Chains A and B, each alone.
Chain A
Amino acid sequence: TQLLEQSPQFLSIQEGENLTVYCNSSSVFSSLQWYRQEPGEGPVLLVTVVTGGEVKKLKRLTFQFGDARKDSSLHITAAQPGDTGLYLCAGADKLLGSQGNLIFGKGTKLSVKP
């Protein structure tokens, strides 16, 4: 069974601080996605990383896929209250055939205080 370990589970910081969320597995994924979810809404896709070592930037968010495609990180610079939400990583497992299904981490609940 593939597992994605996501840490930390909870994070409460002040506006302007930096933070990093980690997603780790012993398994290789064909791609990994990061989602952000606000209360009362479904998860919204932020980014997909596919290539080992890949780095993608989305404004103040930096996403990295590990060289071996087993881990990923999300770094937020100068966090703002609008960044508050639940962040989920999800790995795509093509070994199941077709697109398979996504395997989700447990999520990181981020609270950014003004």
Chain B
Amino acid sequence: SAVISQKPSRDICQRGTSLTIQCQVDSQVTMMFWYRQQPGQSLTLIATANQGSEATYESGFVIDKFPISRPNLTFSTLTVSNMSPEDSSIYLCSGLGQGAAEAFFGQGTRLTVV
């Protein structure tokens, strides 16, 4: 199984600012994803992070608001841009290993926008 390190674990940010969340995997994964989760609720997929190319976004999420980078197979970032209180949530990255359907998750970033 892969170990995924995500940072920061939490942050409180002013509205209008941006926050970049980093995700590092200890082994190569074929696919990486970014999710959003309200506390105690299920996960909503934001996008699939593609290595060396633009991420694939789900309906309701756009690149200008959530730019994503994945420069190599083990690292990805998600930026939450021009934040508003509605962006307060938990953000999670996950990875899928080669030939696997199980996802491994980082510990999440709890974001509060004030």
Contact = CB atoms under 8 A, between A and B. Distances in A.
28 contacts: A6-B42, A30-B101, A33-B101, A33-B103, A39-B39, A40-B9, A40-B107, A40-B110, A41-B107, A41-B108, A42-B4, A42-B94, A42-B108, A45-B104, A48-B102, A86-B40, A88-B42, A90-B103, A99-B31, A99-B100, A99-B101, A101-B33, A101-B45, A102-B103, A107-B40, A107-B41, A107-B42, A109-B40
| Interface size range on B against A | 20 to 34
Determine which residue in B41, B92, B94, B103 has the highest number of CB atoms from chain A within 10 A of its CB, and name it. B103
Interface of B: 1, 4, 6, 9, 30-31, 33, 39-43, 45, 48, 92, 94, 96, 100-108, 110
Contacts of A105: 42
A44 interface: yes
A31 B101 CA distance: 7
Interface residues of A, number: 27
A22 interface: no
Contacts of A41: 107-108
Contacts, number: 61
A110 to B, nearest CB: 11
